[in-house]
Amino acid sequence: MRSRPQDKNTDFKMSSKAMARLMMGTCVLAAILFIFFLGSDTPSAAAQNQPIAFSHRLHGGRLKLDCQFCHFYASRSSSAGVPSVRHCMRCHDQVESKSPEVQKLREQWEKRESISWTRIYDLPDHVVFSHQKHVQAEVACAHCHGKVENMETVVRLQDEFTMGWCIQCHREKSASLECLSCHL
Amino acid sequence: MPELPPLKKTGTFNEIDRRNFLSFMLASGTAAMVGCATQGPSAVLVSNVNPPEEWIPGKSVYYASVCRECPAGCGLHVCNRDGRVTKVEGNPHHPVNRGTLCARGQASLQGLYNPDRLKTPLQRSGSGQLEPSAWKETIDTLAAALSELGPQRDASSLVFFSDILGPSFSALVGKWMETIGGGRLIQHEACGYEFLKAANRFTFDREEVPGFSLENARFILSLGSDFLETWLSPVEFSSAFSRFKEYQQGRIGRLVQIESRCSLTGANADDWLLIQPGTEPILVLALIHIILAEKLGRVGQEDLARIESLAAPFNAEKASEITGISSDVIYDLARSFAHERPSLALFGGVSSISGKATLTQAAVNLLNYVVGNIGETVLYGADLYPARLNSYRDVLQLIDEMNAGKVNVLVIHRSNPAYDLPFTSGFQSALEKVPLVVVLSPHLSETAARADLVLPIHTPLEAWDDYSPREGVWGLQQPTMRPLLDTRHAGDLLLQVANQLSPRKDDSPLPQNYYQFLRERWRELQARERPDLEFESFWNLAATGGGVWKDFSSQPVSLSPSLGDIQVRDLLSSETVQSQELTLIPYSSVFNYDGRGSNSAWLQELPQSLTEVVWDSCVEIHPETAQKLGLKQGDVARLRSEYGEILLPVYVQRWIHPDAVAVPLGQGHTHFGRYANGRGANVASLLNPAAEAGSGGLPWLSVNVQVQKANARHQLVTTRGELSQGQRQIAQTISLNQMQKFFRTGESEGSGNHETANLYPPHQHPAHQWGMAIDLNACTGCKACVVACYAENNNPVVGKDQVARGREMSWIRVESYAEPGPLPGYTFLPVLCQHCHHAPCEGVCPVFATYHNPEGLNAMVYNRCVGTRYCANNCPYKARRFNFHEPEFPSALDRQLNPHVTVRIAGVMEKCTFCVQRIVEAKQQAEKEGRNLMDGEVMPACAQTCPTRAIVFGDLNDRESLVSKRSRDPRAYHLLEHLGTRPAITYLKKIRL
């Protein structure tokens, strides 16, 4: 059997001096990045630009609604889906109907117009990801999306969903490492 | 015949859901998967407002509908993904096409997403230009013109000219004209069948077009009938033809094609005979003569006597002299036709409709009658669609009326008469005499360019309608997505205009909208056909199933008393052409048909059957004739008839009558769109405008042309390689005798076991081993698979220049091989990635972008590919394609892209994946339902659409799967087997008589 790139163990040898220099460099870089991210308490600027100030902390955290109460396509399709305006209105027709943010929602509903949410998560176009498959395999939503119930507005857990990050989990869980599982 | 796939989920598209459809045009989460690689990530997630129940983001919903690319009326299952239609497939339950579709049907998507569709109505301004206008304005103009007609008017003052309509729409037009004060409906198709209707009236007193049962025949004698391409119902006939050619009980059916230019049907024939153009009736009468003389007839004495009196003057020798077919062959044909029953004689097709077409068809009817084929292979009572069409003569009459100033308003619906009709019929100039010409069309056309008003209407994939291709079949055409542009339903437009003329009252015979009208019509149908059902359940049944149908009962016929009136005597005295002129054979091909789909980039890039020319048109000339005229391939020739002239590049081919030249229909557009304009020439400018006396049809084959060399060369791009395969054994055949011997003794001739030693260990395929079997005996070279692959896999088109450099991107191609000789006897060989067990491409990839996967697929990982092209260089099947350029999908063609397949970028290699996205989807579904995959559940796009079911796909690990069985067939072999690549594709040899 020919080895595939992900199976390869690359022998990586380096002198101890070079190693020390590299480690030093890495530490400095890490420190700079740490300070940079500490300084900005909202990592994703986009997060603030949602058309309606929907709180995941309130819905998922305080009210303890299950993720799939709203993202109910996750177990049925590759896409988890954003809830439809109708779905929001099922509760908010009565609940908190006076709140200015809910008023915005009602306005959309009455105009029969959709809401354009700012996208937080995206994958490159050459990747196919199935929520259904991962829900079936009982991977917790938080595994990729973080503790959304603690976030007022959703921020990305991962800066990028890199392939290495996916593969790591696939290895741990003995999931498929076949290229065609994700690249079609 | 493989098992048909299980019915996919089909939904209804009710009124409320349609309104909400806009909201999920761009819907939500799956945008992450939308494969628009060239456009970067979308920044927004658009929520739905009020989604329909059946809708799940990222999942396909299939809507049943009807294909309207030609009048055959195949059933469709149209795949809608997140509000966009991305694929059309045949409806497996539809009696016409049984799940399959032709190339044009597959390309109907590009009609919907045609980048040149009209976005607004157009109105002719004071300066004489067509200019964009508002809907209200244009409708007001139309209503005003109609109200000016006044109540006391001639029926000709308003004419509604259309292509063939479904029963409900034609009823609506009738009612509409009645309400607004009268008018006339003309339904016209460029490829008409007037001769069939007229001949049936002459011979059997029935003005109908019967059904033909090819699969029940043992012997088919076809006189130029291109039933595998465009004739009547090509998908249905292709499927029947594959059953006709199937090896059963030691025999296969035999097709003899007699024509003046080899058509695709001729290329598939067992015997092909060249006939002097237009002499078919003499041959047929001679056949009847021999059958009667040898007492092989199977009808009553009285009938025999009457037929005999007609056929008496036509002996084989005389016929041989005129037709150019040897008398021995004529005797053999007559005897075979009478003995190998049930047999079937067919006639027709643009290339053979001469001034004697009605007479020929009448003779063919009698030929079928004398040997007793009526009721067995010719089924009266089917009443095929041409019965509803007006004749070409009616159109000529309309032109006269237009010229006389009798027509005040001419509404032209979907039809393109300024392009189709012979130019000298004067239609184009007559248009100028009509005060108001209104064209209802989704896109600009040669007719629309001459109109005063152009109203953009929905394409059939966006509109409600119904269609009935034959007795007992009512297809319900439902919209499969929300209209792409600000277009209207033609029916709604008519109703709106009528409303404006006289505001609607409650007792008005016209409903509010066409949808309502359609439902009322179907309520009547339900009362008639299914009184046991509630209307709503009937309607849902029809909408989810694609319509309702029942078998028709075949009816006996008897000879008409007026049979003696048929004038056959003067056939023999007709002058023989002794001039320097050549007979012009116009022909309609499976891809271009009458030119209505020419603005499809897929169809343009598809190599034309037999010539394999792309993005072009050409005139076919026999090598001897070409030599005489000093013409070489690629020279531009000037074709001049009495009626006009055109310039076309020459294509030299040997299977055409030396006294004839052939030109395809469908190219030479001037106002049709970016892909169609300025390619080739329109044959209509050469045609004789006089109608055939007997039937009133257009005799296509009635013009002689002078062919001269024009001082120019033209680059004809063809994908054809060497026509002859020499000793290379690429597309293999087996004789019927060898087949019989195998089944008698169990010995096959042995394709030679090429099992070679290998240094690599064998691959393991623990779960599945995907494989394919392609039956060359069934493949007719129709290339529906090629277009289906483009649609499914987001293959880009690259244009003529790039194809000339060998850079076409089709993942599957259909090679054709024929050996020099009098008989073309083509063998068609679909070639795609062979998914080799020992793939030569894999070892040479420096970045492991291609490898053998555990399910036997030769996987291609685009994001790993760095574009060395070593793999393509090392592939012996030339199955790999390289993206030399960034693919282009001009809007709205980008909406058609399949979100489950990556759109590749420049610098990346690609090739057939066995539609791995379908495998993944089916496996997920099976896993979810906790069961194993069933055989036939995964169908790549090529196998799904194949009209003859030549392509079978499945799991080779399952010994009982159809593909496993076929790969053990005595006819099985592999392509270039001696190379030791061990392909996953098995070919089954073509059986030769």
> What does the mean pLDDT of chain B come to?
90
Residues of A in contact with B36 (CB under 8 A): 125
Residue B540 has pLDDT above 70, yes or no: yes
Instruction: Express as a percent the part of chain B with pLDDT over 70.
Output: 93
The pLDDT value recorded for residue B762 is 86
The Cα of A7 is separated from the nearest Cα of chain B by a number of Å equal to 12
Label residue B949 left, alpha or beta by phi (over 0 means left) and psi (-120 to 50 means alpha): left
The pLDDT value recorded for residue B548 is 95
List phi, psi (to 5°) of A80.
Answer: -75, -30
Q: Among the listed ranges B333-342, B741-750, B827-836, B860-869, which one has the minimum average pLDDT value? A: B741-750
The pTM of this model reads 0.90
Interface of B with A in 821-850 (CB under 8 A): 848
**CB B571, CB B358: distance < 8 Å:** no
| Inter-chain CB proximity A124 and B928 less than 8 Å | no
* Of residues A80, A113, A180, nearest to B49 (C-beta): A113
The pLDDT value recorded for residue B33 is 33
* A53-75 pLDDT, tens digit each: 888 999 998 999 999 999 989 98
Confidence of residue B831 (pLDDT cuts 50, 70, 90): very high
List phi, psi (to 5°) of B65.
Answer: -155, -165
The pLDDT value recorded for residue A27 is 53
| Inter-chain CB proximity A125 and B34 less than 8 Å | yes
Question: Token pair for residue B966?
Answer: 């076929």
- In a 3-state reduction of DSSP, which class is residue A160? coil
Residue B587 CA to residue A33 CA, distance in Å, equals: 72
* Of residues B23, B33, B43, nearest to A119 (C-beta): B43
- A49 lies within 8 A of chain B by CB: no
Can you tell me the ipTM of this complex? Answer: 0.78
Instruction: Express as a percent the part of chain B with pLDDT over 90.
Output: 78
Q: How many CB pairs (< 8 A) connect A and B? A: 140
The pLDDT value recorded for residue B576 is 53
Residue A92 has pLDDT above 60, yes or no: yes
| Inter-chain CB proximity B46 and A117 less than 8 Å | yes
* Of residues B42, B851, B864, nearest to A119 (C-beta): B42
| Inter-chain CB proximity B902 and A129 less than 8 Å | no
- A116 lies within 8 A of chain B by CB: yes
Confidence of residue B95 (pLDDT cuts 50, 70, 90): very high
| Inter-chain CB proximity B854 and A76 less than 8 Å | no
Residue B79 CA to residue B778 CA, distance in Å, equals: 27
Residues of A in contact with B20 (CB under 8 A): 112
Confidence of residue B573 (pLDDT cuts 50, 70, 90): low
Question: Token pair for residue B507?
Answer: 């007792």
Give the pairing type, strands B619-621 and B635-640. unpaired
Q: Give Rg (Cα) of chain A.
A: 21
**CB B23, CB B49: distance < 8 Å:** yes
| Inter-chain CB proximity B47 and A117 less than 8 Å | yes
- B54 lies within 8 A of chain A by CB: no
Average of pLDDT values for B619-648? 95
Per DSSP, the residues of B585-625 read: EEE--TTTTTSTTTT-HHHHHSPPTTT-B-S---EEE-HHH
Residue B574 CA to residue B914 CA, distance in Å, equals: 57
The pLDDT value recorded for residue B823 is 84
* A30-53 pLDDT, tens digit each: 555 444 444 333 344 444 578 888
| Inter-chain CB proximity A79 and B57 less than 8 Å | yes
The Cα of B489 is separated from the nearest Cα of chain A by a number of Å equal to 23
Residue B786 CA to residue B601 CA, distance in Å, equals: 13
Residue B941 CA to residue B166 CA, distance in Å, equals: 29
Average of pLDDT values for B478-488? 94
- In a 3-state reduction of DSSP, which class is residue A47? helix
| Inter-chain CB proximity B35 and A1 less than 8 Å | no
Residues of B in contact with A117 (CB under 8 A): 44-47
- In a 3-state reduction of DSSP, which class is residue B441? coil
Residue B582 CA to residue B659 CA, distance in Å, equals: 5
Residue B771 has pLDDT above 70, yes or no: yes
Label residue A174 left, alpha or beta by phi (over 0 means left) and psi (-120 to 50 means alpha): left
Residues of A in contact with B56 (CB under 8 A): 73, 76-77, 81
Strand partners, B951: B774
* A160-175 pLDDT, tens digit each: 688 888 999 999 999 9
Q: Among the listed ranges B603-607, B772-776, B821-825, which one has the minimum average pLDDT value? A: B821-825
Residue B49 CA to residue B61 CA, distance in Å, equals: 18
| Inter-chain CB proximity B49 and A112 less than 8 Å | yes
Which is nearest to B964 in space by CA: B950, B949, B952, B982? B952
The Cα of B530 is separated from the nearest Cα of chain A by a number of Å equal to 37
Residue B745 CA to residue B735 CA, distance in Å, equals: 15
- Separation in Å, CA B291 to CA B75, B222, B296, B330, B566: 41, 17, 5, 11, 20
**CB B682, CB B663: distance < 8 Å:** no
* B35-48 pLDDT, tens digit each: 333 334 457 888 88
CA-nearest residue of chain B to A129? Answer: B33
Residue B641 CA to residue B708 CA, distance in Å, equals: 11
Listed in sequence order, the residues at least 6 apart from B164 whose beta carbon sits closer than 8 Å to its beta carbon are B71, B187, B189, B385, B388, B389
The pLDDT value recorded for residue B17 is 42
Domains and CATH numbers, chain B: 122-191+389-464+486-507 (3.40.50.740), 194-383 (3.40.228.10), 579-713 (2.40.40.20), 733-753+765-992 (3.30.70.20)
The pLDDT value recorded for residue A119 is 85
SS3 content of chain A, % helix, strand, coil (to 5): 50, 0, 50
User: B214 or A136, which is more confident?
Assistant: B214
Listed in sequence order, the residues at least 6 apart from B746 whose beta carbon sits closer than 8 Å to its beta carbon are none
Element (H, E) at B664: strand B660-664
Q: Give Rg (Cα) of chain B.
A: 28
Average of pLDDT values for B510-528? 93
Omega before residue B460 within 30° of 0, cis? no
The pLDDT value recorded for residue B105 is 96
B316-323 and B327-339 helices cross at what angle (nearest 10)?
Answer: 120
- A69 lies within 8 A of chain B by CB: no
- In a 3-state reduction of DSSP, which class is residue B442? coil
| Inter-chain CB proximity B851 and A2 less than 8 Å | yes
List phi, psi (to 5°) of B169.
Answer: -65, -40
The residue among A49, A67, A79, A141 with the most chain B CBs within 10 A of its CB, best to mutate, is A79
The pLDDT value recorded for residue A184 is 84
Residues of A in contact with B30 (CB under 8 A): 77-79
* B263-274 pLDDT, tens digit each: 999 999 999 999
The Cα of B916 is separated from the nearest Cα of chain A by a number of Å equal to 7
Confidence of residue B228 (pLDDT cuts 50, 70, 90): very high
Centre a 10 Å sphere on the Cβ of residue A164 and count the other Cβ atoms it contains.
Answer: 8
Average of pLDDT values for B380-398? 94
Question: Token pair for residue A103?
Answer: 């008023």
- In the block, residue with structure tokens 């939308």: B34
The residue among A3, A88, A126, A131 with the most chain B CBs within 10 A of its CB, best to mutate, is A126
- A177 lies within 8 A of chain B by CB: no
Centre a 10 Å sphere on the Cβ of residue B564 and count the other Cβ atoms it contains.
Answer: 11
* B872-911 pLDDT, tens digit each: 999 999 999 999 999 999 999 999 999 999 999 999 999 9
Question: Token pair for residue B984?
Answer: 């996953």
| Inter-chain CB proximity B41 and A183 less than 8 Å | no
* Of residues A77, A109, A117, nearest to B57 (C-beta): A77
Sign of torsion over alpha carbons B561, B562, B565, B567: negative
Residue B167 CA to residue B518 CA, distance in Å, equals: 10
- A8 lies within 8 A of chain B by CB: no
- A62 lies within 8 A of chain B by CB: no
**CB B691, CB B393: distance < 8 Å:** yes
- B959 lies within 8 A of chain A by CB: no
The pLDDT value recorded for residue B23 is 35
The pLDDT value recorded for residue B11 is 43
Residue B906 CA to residue B913 CA, distance in Å, equals: 19
- In the block, residue with structure tokens 């609607």: B504
The Cα of A20 is separated from the nearest Cα of chain B by a number of Å equal to 32
Label residue B65 left, alpha or beta by phi (over 0 means left) and psi (-120 to 50 means alpha): beta
* B413-453 pLDDT, tens digit each: 999 999 999 999 999 999 999 999 999 999 999 999 999 99
- A55 lies within 8 A of chain B by CB: no
The pLDDT value recorded for residue B54 is 75
